[in-house]
Structure 1
Amino acid sequence: MFSLTSAEISHFLLAMGCLLAMAHLLGYMAERIYIPRVIGEVAAGLVLGPTLLGHFFPDAFKWLFLGFATEDKLFGLLYQFGLLMLMFCSGLKFQTRFNREDIKITSALVIGATIPAFVVGWFAADIFNITPYLGTASNPLAMKIVIAISIAITSIPVISKIFNDLGIMHTRFAKIVIACAGFHDIMLWVALGFATAIASNGGVFTAGTALKSVGVSFGFIIGTFVLGYFLFKRLTIIKQNILFRSSNLGYFLFIMFMLSSLAGNLHVETIFGALLAGVIAKVALPKVVSERLEQGVSNISFSWFIPIYFATVGLQLDLVRHFNPLFFLAYFLFATLTQTVAVYITSRAIKQDRLTSFNLGVAINDRGGPGIVLSSVAYAAGIINQEFFAILVMLALITSWIPGTWLRIVVKKKWRLMPGDENITPQPRDDGKIKSINQSV
């Protein structure tokens, strides 16, 4: 009970070590040529997975990653932990301080970037032939929701990493984009919860099903936020909280796991619990405590769990046998133009200049981590098949690449990101790397 043989442990550690090393190596190489690290981490799975190693050396791939009966389940467990840690870190990026003008801009972008893009994505499902891409649930309605979400979603982790790498995290532009992405994605996660509920309900859709799914999701979000805010605010930094005193990080991880478990038991996606745990911690705790928590979580998450998660996504892709490049190109152009135009028009409607509107359109078009999470959850729920899973993952990766390149050009040429960011000076990033012995002496 609760045990593996010595040979199984050794084999799993070898496979995980190879995957982790490849993820860090290709992630580092990607950063060196100004590509978001997540692209390199997913590429690690492509190299060691069915796309390359499994295609040319299928026996080697099966031996490494399917070497014993439960090895795939162990990777599946790490994959889920990485997903939860990614969402927890995303919640800790949530922005809380805004002036009236910033609230107005953020609110307009949340509405203007979400609703039109979602609606266009919904009707686009009738234009594209989605039947060949249906998953095992065989539910066109659930897939239409997933397609609409894939058009409208934005990435907090990747766009935050881009801002950090460029040294512009302190700007007004970065604050508004990250806040917009946060509200944006919470709304879309509710829609995803509805889609998975339909898929798990045997495809039966009624008004009662819709009200129950959306009601439970919103009830969980509001109830968790209100109660969690009170508990975090009043019960965290007190002498009687022995768990917090014994381990600050352990205390918050316990909260995250409990909220995720509660979400799962309520048939809400577990990622909601992790995301809300991060948001509540960011909002309720003193700044010094939330920053220390974010640093501690980031150290363990971005060194192990999150790279393994993205690399495992790559392991599930087979771009040789399950990828239609022409369909992907059409879908990519459609999704990118829809999201960018929606944001641009909204920004111009609230009297932002052309360059600001274009910058916002490009930045909010970054799908990154949440785009990959969307594809993972939809694939696991049987809403989409492996081929469409690959389409959504590649869409998330390419749309993560574009903002980094464009914003780097803007900063290098010293163009204005938006009003209030005139003559900004990029700040050196804190990448958390350990100094060498010679540097530290």
Structure 2
Amino acid sequence: MFSLTGDEISHFLLAMGCLLAMAHLLGFLAERIFIPRVIGEVAAGLVLGPTILGHFFPDAFRWMFLGFPYEGKLFGLLYQLGLLLLMFCSGLKFQTRFNKEDAKITTALVIGSTIPAFIVGWFAADIFNITPYLGTANNPLAIKIVIAISIAITSIPVISKIFNDLGIMHTRFSKIVIACAGIHDILLWVALGFATAIASQGAVFTAGTAVKSVGISFAFIIGTFTLGYLLFKRLTIIKQNLLFRSSNLGYFLFIMFMLASLAGNLHVEAIFGALLAGIVAKMALPKMVSERLEQNVSNISFSWFIPIYFATVGLQLDLVKHFNPLFFLSYFLFATLTQTIAVYITSRFIKQDPFTSFNLGVAINDRGGPGIVLSSVAYSTGIINQELFAILVMLALVTSWIPGTWLRIVVSKGWRLMPGDEDLVPQQRNDDKIKSINHHR
């Protein structure tokens, strides 16, 4: 009932192993030349997918990834698990401790980087003529929401990785950017949940549909924060919690899966449940426990599931047949300028200096993992077609590259990121410490 033949298992393990190895190899090489690892991982799918292998050796591609009827579903399962774990890890990076001044700056940036960018993106959907990019759901309203989100979204995982690689995770600048990304992404996931809800209902849209969808999303957020906080705060580290005692990681994964399942059943999007599970865990648990949880989840997620997720995104792209470079360039310039200008103006309005405002604009413009999640969810639900899917994925990748390059220049030159980060001394990463110790032995 639940079994595969020996040949099918062997074939799938070969294909998955090759994809995983290529993802790690290209991710490693990307980091060596100061490019975010996620770009290399998606490139693995491009190399082994329709873009390169499938273009030059189509039979080899079909044999590798479409070798038996259920192989696509197996990759689809790993893809979904990687997506859930990516969102869970993103939630665990959420910042919760701020002084009054930083809270004001974060609030202003959330409003200033989300609302104007979303509104501009909404009206831009008409300028760009979205009709050729409609997916199978054939819902213009849903695709307008997705385009607006693509302009305003920010990546917690990638920008956190950039900060960690540069040794500036401890700075005031990093805490504000990560908090801003987390809060406004929650709001944008609500919008995405609404888009997928109306797309699943065909072209039917009423005020009641909007109120119901948004109401359910906010009720789910409030309920998760209230009950989840209580669960993690009071019921986790007690001797009666046998599941936690039997497996700390298993306990938290169980909570994540349950919240993701509940979110999916409420048509909120399962990934939203995983994100909230991570945020609540970060808020409610003692610092030592949440850091250990993040480390344990990251070990398994970033070694297997998440690289497979990003590589599978690349497998779905065919940049030879379904990619318009000129349209991408115009979309990229529009999205980047809109988000950067919105943040810059907001930052100047709250009396930050021009250089700080520019740094914030560049950092918050990083779309990374969430941008790819947005495109893959919109594509899988039929909101967008493969052409726009490719555009949004490439937008996420390129806007992940720019902040890493710019912030590396700022840190290497010894320039100030923002007030409060004077005389910055980058922290050494754990893996760099290990290399240093081994070097001196």
Task: Give the 3-state SS of the residue equivalent to 2:430 in structure 1.
Answer: coil
Whole-angstrom distance in 1 between the partners of 2:210 and 2:109: 26
What are the residue-to-residue correspondences of 1:300-315 with 2, within 5 Å?
300-315=300-315
- Which residue number in structure 1 is paired with residue 366 of structure 2? 366
What are the residue-to-residue correspondences of 1:83-232 with 2, within 5 Å?
83-232=83-232
Whole-angstrom distance in 2 between the partners of 1:416 and 1:93: 24
What are the residue-to-residue correspondences of 1:61-80 with 2, within 5 Å?
61-80=61-80
Letter in 2 for 1:219: A
Whole-angstrom distance in 1 between the partners of 2:371 and 2:16: 24
Q: 1:344–1:411: structure 2 CA closer, same or farther, 3 Å change rule? A: same
Letter in 2 for 1:8: E
- Which residue number in structure 1 is paired with residue 52 of structure 2? 52
Letter in 1 for 2:40: G
The answer to whether the aligner puts 1:323 opposite 2:337 as a matched pair is no
Q: What displacement does 1:16 show?
A: 0.2
Give the alignment's TM-score, normalised by structure 1: 0.98
Which whole-Å deviations, capped at 9, do the CAs of 1:59-88 have from their partners, x for residues lacking one?
000000000000000000000000000000
- Which residue number in structure 2 is paired with residue 233 of structure 1? 233
Whole-angstrom distance in 2 between the partners of 1:135 and 1:430: 45
Whole-angstrom distance in 1 between the partners of 2:429 and 2:185: 26
Whole-angstrom distance in 2 between the partners of 1:439 and 1:33: 22
The answer to whether the aligner puts 1:390 opposite 2:390 as a matched pair is yes
Letter in 2 for 1:51: T
Give the alignment's TM-score, normalised by structure 2: 0.98
Letter in 1 for 2:112: G
The answer to whether the aligner puts 1:347 opposite 2:347 as a matched pair is yes
Q: 1:433–1:387: structure 2 CA closer, same or farther, 3 Å change rule? A: farther
Task: Give the 3-state SS of the residue equivalent to 1:122 in structure 2.
Answer: helix
Whole-angstrom distance in 1 between the partners of 2:319 and 2:16: 22
Letter in 1 for 2:362: V
- Which residue number in structure 2 is paired with residue 23 of structure 1? 23
Whole-angstrom distance in 2 between the partners of 1:433 and 1:386: 44
Q: What displacement does 1:429 show?
A: 1.5
The answer to whether the aligner puts 1:356 opposite 2:356 as a matched pair is yes
- Which residue number in structure 2 is paired with residue 417 of structure 1? 417
Whole-angstrom distance in 2 between the partners of 1:68 and 1:87: 30
Whole-angstrom distance in 1 between the partners of 2:33 and 2:437: 27
Q: What displacement does 1:431 show?
A: 4.5
Letter in 1 for 2:399: T
Q: 1:251–1:382: structure 2 CA closer, same or farther, 3 Å change rule? A: same
Task: Give the 3-state SS of the residue equivalent to 2:239 in structure 1.
Answer: coil
Identity fraction in percent: 87
Q: 1:438–1:33: structure 2 CA closer, same or farther, 3 Å change rule? A: closer
Letter in 2 for 1:180: C
Letter in 2 for 1:212: K
Q: What displacement does 1:435 show?
A: 7.0
Which whole-Å deviations, capped at 9, do the CAs of 1:321-374 have from their partners, x for residues lacking one?
000000000000000000000000000000000000000000000000000000
Q: What displacement does 1:267 show?
A: 1.0
- Which residue number in structure 2 is paired with residue 426 of structure 1? 426
Q: 1:345–1:435: structure 2 CA closer, same or farther, 3 Å change rule? A: closer
Which whole-Å deviations, capped at 9, do the CAs of 1:192-221 have from their partners, x for residues lacking one?
000000100112110000000000001001
Q: What displacement does 1:430 show?
A: 2.6
Letter in 2 for 1:62: R
Which whole-Å deviations, capped at 9, do the CAs of 1:399-422 have from their partners, x for residues lacking one?
000000000000010000000000
Q: 1:159–1:119: structure 2 CA closer, same or farther, 3 Å change rule? A: same
Task: Give the 3-state SS of the residue equivalent to 1:374 in structure 2.
Answer: helix
Whole-angstrom distance in 2 between the partners of 1:409 and 1:433: 22
Whole-angstrom distance in 2 between the partners of 1:242 and 1:170: 35
Whole-angstrom distance in 1 between the partners of 2:281 and 2:432: 21
Q: 1:248–1:359: structure 2 CA closer, same or farther, 3 Å change rule? A: same
Letter in 1 for 2:316: Q
Task: Give the 3-state SS of the residue equivalent to 1:289 in structure 2.
Answer: helix
Task: Give the 3-state SS of the residue equivalent to 1:135 in structure 2.
Answer: coil
Which whole-Å deviations, capped at 9, do the CAs of 1:250-287 have from their partners, x for residues lacking one?
00000000000011111110001100110011000000
Whole-angstrom distance in 2 between the partners of 1:437 and 1:94: 31
- Which residue number in structure 2 is paired with residue 276 of structure 1? 276
Task: Give the 3-state SS of the residue equivalent to 1:81 in structure 2.
Answer: helix
- Which residue number in structure 1 is paired with residue 9 of structure 2? 9
Q: What displacement does 1:231 show?
A: 1.1
- Which residue number in structure 2 is paired with residue 40 of structure 1? 40
Q: 1:142–1:158: structure 2 CA closer, same or farther, 3 Å change rule? A: same
Whole-angstrom distance in 2 between the partners of 1:416 and 1:402: 18
Task: Give the 3-state SS of the residue equivalent to 1:203 in structure 2.
Answer: coil
How large is the Cα RMSD of the aligned pairs? 1.4
Whole-angstrom distance in 1 between the partners of 2:277 and 2:399: 27
Q: What displacement does 1:153 show?
A: 0.2
Whole-angstrom distance in 2 between the partners of 1:316 and 1:231: 39
Q: Which runs of 5+ in 2 are unaligned?
A: none
Task: Give the 3-state SS of the residue equivalent to 1:369 in structure 2.
Answer: helix
Letter in 1 for 2:239: K
Whole-angstrom distance in 1 between the partners of 2:117 and 2:267: 27
Letter in 1 for 2:235: L
Q: What displacement does 1:114 show?
A: 0.2
Q: What displacement does 1:288 show?
A: 0.5
Whole-angstrom distance in 2 between the partners of 1:210 and 1:139: 15
The answer to whether the aligner puts 1:245 opposite 2:237 as a matched pair is no
